[in-house]
């Protein structure tokens, strides 16, 4: 190719890396980027009305497509606005390539309008952060950015482009793209040691999280669990890591509760796969891993292994490859007695699972006719209304446990939720759009708490503007319910009662049906339980975006 402006070289490089969408909110420092896009209609710019919304859309798109999501932000204020959801993307390990414009280099020493040290701003929430100061460096910088974003452990990266750099000429003969194979095999001795411990265990257990989903290792994990007859718990997974209806899967554990330790105390050997051990918000009086329990920790990121708890066997490896090798070696090591004990453990777990399901159904029946509507009924009614193949995007927060119990998630890629180790709210509204853009062949439903939804309610404009066919179900408990629950826990055992200052979303009430109408989207507000199923079915049948605003009872109110 002949010499070309840096802005065109950047677009050629995006195309070479398979980019079809850029999510963003531009400003003057991005005018070269936007002008370059005009000559590349193969790349669609998806406009958000606030930068956090752009980052959230790119996050959802990246997670559902398996590609790097590309975000275009506006200098320091734009990057600052996007930082909360960039934080979530970092904690969830989402592959993002985030860009922002800078004033021309000759002005930077003069502290021009809106300028700041963007590289330093982005550094703590990215795997790599850099400023591209020469047009001739654009090919290497972009190649490196995509390589790092997609190479495990995956995280966002950031590039800033001074305006004049994108106007400079650069020779681009071929658009460089790195091809790499990220499946890291485990140490042979580690596999043998881990298999020996598990084969000899009297009561092994498994905890797992998103590393399983990122690796595509669910089938291999199921094989190991079935061979051992081991109970399996999720550690706040944000995707499908184990079939939730499987007899060995007993739900999710919360590392903030000492009750988690009580669950883990029954295991003499614990296999932790693709999870931190363990990320907490609040301290517990004792370590969550009991002292007598032998811990085998399998993770692609060496930083996580042995970070908070000592390990008996630490394996840095791709979970899919490691579990396949572990399962093979384990099968060779298990004696006839070990296999009979594994079968007995599985039968006992099946009985426990039946008890859990029966208790859930009993709670559903007890709450069925409550007004405000219970989260349990909302979850069950939604389950019964969903079309086959629906993808759920979950930021329901305190209503999420009901959702996870009511709906079975068997297929990878049918559930995405906000990073539990992040916690910045506002992800669900834009992520729903990003997931739908990545998977236009599937129905996509975003289930979002009302407090979270207000952080990125601008997503409704983007949904309407591009006619993105998603259904939003708003869990309207008119409060920051999680804060109320935490306050009640904090005051437990004392006579003091909280007034829940700053935790109620009332006077005036939030009405998402009216907000939807303001953006030209069909919306309905549901206050009575008998109206819920018809409203859901009508919204799910629409060909464009729709909103169902459900007035529910908060957990703290129950």
What would the pLDDT profile of 344-376 be if each residue is shown by its tens digit?
A: 999 999 999 999 999 999 999 999 999 999 999
Read off the pTM: 0.97
Orientation of helix 319-333 relative to helix 218-228, angle to 10°: 20
Q: What pLDDT shows up at residue 1?
A: 57
Which of 296, 326, 353 is at the close of a domain? 353
Same-domain status, 349 and 377: no
Range of the structural domain that residue 97 is part of: 3-171
Q: What is the reported pLDDT for 445?
A: 98
Residues 374 and 335 in one domain: no
Same domain, 391 and 540: yes
Residue 119 and residue 221 in one domain: no
pLDDT value for 180: 87
pLDDT at 194: 98
Provide the pairing of β-strand 249-252 with 231-234. Answer: parallel
- Give how far Cα 62 sits from Cα of 19, 55, 442, 452, Å: 11, 10, 16, 21
Phi-psi region of 413 (alpha: psi -120 to 50; beta: other; left: phi over 0): left
Both 372 and 349 in a single domain?
Answer: no
The domain that holds 512 is classified in CATH as: 3.40.50.970
Kindly state the DSSP code that residue 321 receives in the 8-state scheme.
Answer: H
Q: What percent of the chain has pLDDT over 70?
A: 99
Top pLDDT among 554 and 497 is at: 497
Q: Average pLDDT, whole number, for the chain? A: 96
Report whether 288 contacts 265 (CB < 8 A): no
Report yes or no on 121 lying in a domain.
yes
| 275, β-bridge pairs | none
Pairwise CA distance, residues 395 & 26, whole Å: 27
Q: Which residue has the tokens 């750099």?
A: 165
Q: Name the residue with higher pLDDT: 2 or 454.
A: 454
258 — pLDDT class (breaks 50, 70, 90):
confident
Same domain, 24 and 159: yes
Residue 556 scores a pLDDT above 80: no
Residue 497 in any domain: the answer is yes
Residues 6 or more apart in contact with residue 291 via CB below 8 angstroms? none
244 within domain boundaries: yes
- Asked if residue 183 belongs to a domain, the reply is no
225 plus 268 within the same structural domain: yes
Question: Is residue 537 in some structural domain?
Answer: yes
Report if residue 361 sits inside a domain.
no
Strand boundaries in 213-339, DSSP class E = 231-234, 249-252, 269-273, 294-299, 313-316
* Position 307 in a domain: yes
Which helix (H) or strand (E) element contains residue 445? strand 444-449
Q: ∠ at Cα 172 (170, 176), nearest 5°?
A: 125
d(CA 3, CA 99): 23
Element (H, E) at 206: strand 204-208
At residue 64, does pLDDT exceed 60?
yes
- Tell me: do 325 and 378 sit in the same domain: no
Same domain, 260 and 133: no
Using the predicted structure, report yes or no on whether residue 496 has a pLDDT greater than 80. yes
Whether 182 is in a domain gets the answer no
The pLDDT assigned to 298 comes to: 98
Residue 189, number of CB atoms within 10 A of its CB: 9
End-to-end CA distance of the chain: 67
Residue-level pLDDT at 346: 98
Residues 196 and 324 in one domain: yes
Distances in whole angstroms, Cα of residue 17 to Cα of each of 24, 145, 176, 334:
18, 11, 9, 46
3-state helix, strand, coil in the chain (%, to 5): 45, 20, 40
Among 88-97, 279-288, 447-456, whose mean pLDDT is lowest?
Answer: 279-288
266 and 406 both lie in a single domain: no
558 band by pLDDT with thresholds 50, 70 and 90? low
Task: State whether 210 and 293 are in the same domain.
Answer: yes
CA dist 358 and 361 (Å) reads 5
Query: What's the domain count of the chain?
Result: 3
CA dist 192 and 63 (Å) reads 33
Rounded to whole angstroms, the Cα distance separating 467 from 389 reads 21
Find the mean pLDDT for residues 56-76. 97
Residues in CB range of 83: below 8 A, 6 or more apart:
121, 122, 125
281 pLDDT above the threshold of 90: no
């Amino acid at each position: 190719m002949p010499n070309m402006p840096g802005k065109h070289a950047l677009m050629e490089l995006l195309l070479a890396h398979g980019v079809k969408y850029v999510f963003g909110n531009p400003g003057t420092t991005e005018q070269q980027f936007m002008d370059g896009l005009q000559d590349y209609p193969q790349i669609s710019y998806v406009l958000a009305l606030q930068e956090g919304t752009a980052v959230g859309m790119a996050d959802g798109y990246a997670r559902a497509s398996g590609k790097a999501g590309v975000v275009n932000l506006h200098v320091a204020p734009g990057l600052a606005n996007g930082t909360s959801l960039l934080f979530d993307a970092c904690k969830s390990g989402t592959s993002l390539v985030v860009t922002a414009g800078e004033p021309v280099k000759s002005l930077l020493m003069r502290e021009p309008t809106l300028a700041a040290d963007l590289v330093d701003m982005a550094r703590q929430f990215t795997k790599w952060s850099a400023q591209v100061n020469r047009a001739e460096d654009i090919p290497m910088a972009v190649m490196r950015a995509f390589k790092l974003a997609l190479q495990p452990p995956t995280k966002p990266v950031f590039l800033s482009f001074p305006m004049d750099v994108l106007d400079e000429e650069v020779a681009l003969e071929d658009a460089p793209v790195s091809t790499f194979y990220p499946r890291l095999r485990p140490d042979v001795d580690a596999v043998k040691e881990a298999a020996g411990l598990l084969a000899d265990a009297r009561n092994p257990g498994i905890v797992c999280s998103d590393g399983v989903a990122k690796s595509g290792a669910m089938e291999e994990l199921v094989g190991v669990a079935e061979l051992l007859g081991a109970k399996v718990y999720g550690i706040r997974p944000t995707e499908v890591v184990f079939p939730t209806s499987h007899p060995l899967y007993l739900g999710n554990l919360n590392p903030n509760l000492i009750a988690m330790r009580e669950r883990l105390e029954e295991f003499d050997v614990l296999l932790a796969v693709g999870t931190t051990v363990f990320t907490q918000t609040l301290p517990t009086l004792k370590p969550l891993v009991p002292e007598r329990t032998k811990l085998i920790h399998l993770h692609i990121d060496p930083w996580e292994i042995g970070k908070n708890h000592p390990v008996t066997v630490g394996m840095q490896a791709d979970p899919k490859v490691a579990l396949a090798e572990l399962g093979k070696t384990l099968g060779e090591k298990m004696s006839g007695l070990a296999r009979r004990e594994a079968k007995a453990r599985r039968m006992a777990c099946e009985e426990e699972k039946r008890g859990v399901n029966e208790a859930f159904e009993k709670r559903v029946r007890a709450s069925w006719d409550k007004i405000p509507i219970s989260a349990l009924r909302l979850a069950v009614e939604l389950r019964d209304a969903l079309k086959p193949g629906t993808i759920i995007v979950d930021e329901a927060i305190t209503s999420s446990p009901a959702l996870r119990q009511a709906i079975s998630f068997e297929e990878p890629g049918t559930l995405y939720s906000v990073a539990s180790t992040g916690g910045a709210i506002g992800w669900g509204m834009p992520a729903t759009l990003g997931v739908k853009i990545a998977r236009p062949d599937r129905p996509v439903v975003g289930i979002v708490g009302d407090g979270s939804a207000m952080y990125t309610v601008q997503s409704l404009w983007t949904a309407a503007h591009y006619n993105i066919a998603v259904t939003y179900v708003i869990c309207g408990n008119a409060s920051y319910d999680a804060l109320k629950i935490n306050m009640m826990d904090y005051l437990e055992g004392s006579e003091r009662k909280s007034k829940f200052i700053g935790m109620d979303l009332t006077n005036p009430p939030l009405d998402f049906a009216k907000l939807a109408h303001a953006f030209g989207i069909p919306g309905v507000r549901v206050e009575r339980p008998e109206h819920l199923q018809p409203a859901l079915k009508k919204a799910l049948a629409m060909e464009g975006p729709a909103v169902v605003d459900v007035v529910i009872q908060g957990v703290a109110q129950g």
